[in-house]
Amino acid sequence: MMEKQELWDASAEEMRRGYRIMEDEAECLFCGQRYYTQEIYAQDERWVLGERKMKSHVKNVHGSPLAMLLKLGPEALGISAMQLEMLQAFACGQSDQQIAKEKGVTLSTIRNYRFKLREKQKQAQLFVMMMTLLNENSGHSIQQLSDTALIDAHAAAVMRDERYELTEKEKETILKTYFDPQGALKEMPAKAKRKLAVLAQIAENFKPEVRYTEKQINTLLQRIWPDHVYLRRALVEYGFFQRTADGSAYWRK
C-alpha cells in the first residue's frame, strides 16, 4: 500500500480526500485507480461522473484516507508504535477510560500521549512550512541532486536508513544489471541497497491490498526467479508484503 510517489507529493487537501485530479482524471493516492472526471460510471444502480465515482472508491475500498494513513506504520509516520496505537484508538472514537483499560495504563498516561502528539503536530506543521519555503527559495525539491534525484523509500519500509539512499540513475542501473528484458531476475544482489531496489521492482508485479494465496504468490515469483521461497520471505522481511499469521494470504502493503 501507498509506496507511490503521488502520496508523498500530495497536498494536504489531496490527502484529506484521498485522491488527486490530473487534467481530466481522478487518481486514488492509495492504489492508483483512475476515473475520467467527465465520464459516466455505474454506481449503486445509478450513473455518476468520474470524481463522484472516485469518492465512492476511496470510501468503499479503503475505508477513509485516515484509515489508510494509519496503516502506513510508525516508521513512515515518524512516530513510535505506541503512539500509532493511541492514534488508532482515538480514530475509533474510544474514550480515554476505554483506552486506558484496554492498554493497561492510567488516564494520566493517555493524557500525556495526547499532549506529546499535539506537540508533534505543531512541530510537523512548522517543519512542513519550512521545507515548502526552502523548496520555493531554492527552486527545486530537497531530494533533487545536480543531475538526478533521490528516490523515496517505500511507505511500508521496516527501517529507514542509508540502504534507502538511492537515486533515479542508480535504480535504473541496478534494474538493468539484475533483470533481463523479460523481467526475470538474473541473480540476487548481495548488497542491501541493491537488494532493496530489486525487491521493490518485484513487488510492482502485485496489486496493492489485493490478497493472494501462497500458491498464487509462488506462481508469480517463480516466473521471476527459481528460488521463489526466498523471494517471498524477503518481500515480507523488508516490509513489501504482509501476510496472515497462518500464511494463507499475502498482500502488498
* Residue 141, number of CB atoms within 10 A of its CB: 12
- Residue 208: its pLDDT value, please? 78
φ, ψ for residue 184 (rounded to 5)? -85, 145
Q: What is the pLDDT of residue 73?
A: 83
Per-residue pLDDT band at 126 (split at 50, 70, 90): very high
pLDDT in tens, 190-203: 998 899 999 999 99
> Is the per-residue pLDDT at 18 higher than 90?
yes
**pLDDT band for position 6 (cuts 50, 70, 90):** low
pLDDT at 20: 94
- Digit-coded pLDDT (tens) for 204-214: 999 877 899 99
Q: What is the DSSP string of 36-73?
A: ETTSEEEETTEEEEHHHHHHHHHHHHHS-HHHHHHTS-
Terminal CA-to-CA distance of the chain, rounded, Å?
4
In CATH, what class is 77-138? mainly alpha
Q: What is the pLDDT of residues 53-102, one digit of tens each?
A: 999 999 999 999 999 899 888 888 889 999 999 999 999 999 999 999 99
Pair 83, 73: CB distance under 8 Å: no
Domain boundaries, the chain: 5-69, 77-138, 150-252
Cell of 90: 482515538
pLDDT of 166 reads: 83
* Mean of pLDDT values over 43-57: 94
Task: Read off the pLDDT of each residue in 16-45 and give the average, rounded to a whole number.
Answer: 93
3-class state of residue 22 by DSSP:
strand
Look at residue 156 in the predicted model and tell me its pLDDT: 59
Average pLDDT (209-220) is 92
pLDDT at site 85:
96
The Cα–Cα gap between 137 and 38 comes to 37
Q: What is d(CA 243, CA 252) in angstroms, rounded to the nearest whole number? A: 9
Is residue 142 predicted with pLDDT exceeding 80? no
Cell of 112: 500525556
CA distance 125 to 200: 30
Phi, psi of 212 (to 5 degrees): -115, 145
Q: Which residue has the cell 493516492?
A: 29
Give yes or no for a contact between 148 and 167, defined as CB atoms under 8 angstroms apart.
Answer: yes
Using CA atoms, how far apart are residues 167 and 74, in angstroms rounded to an integer?
24
The whole-number pLDDT of residue 3 equals: 44
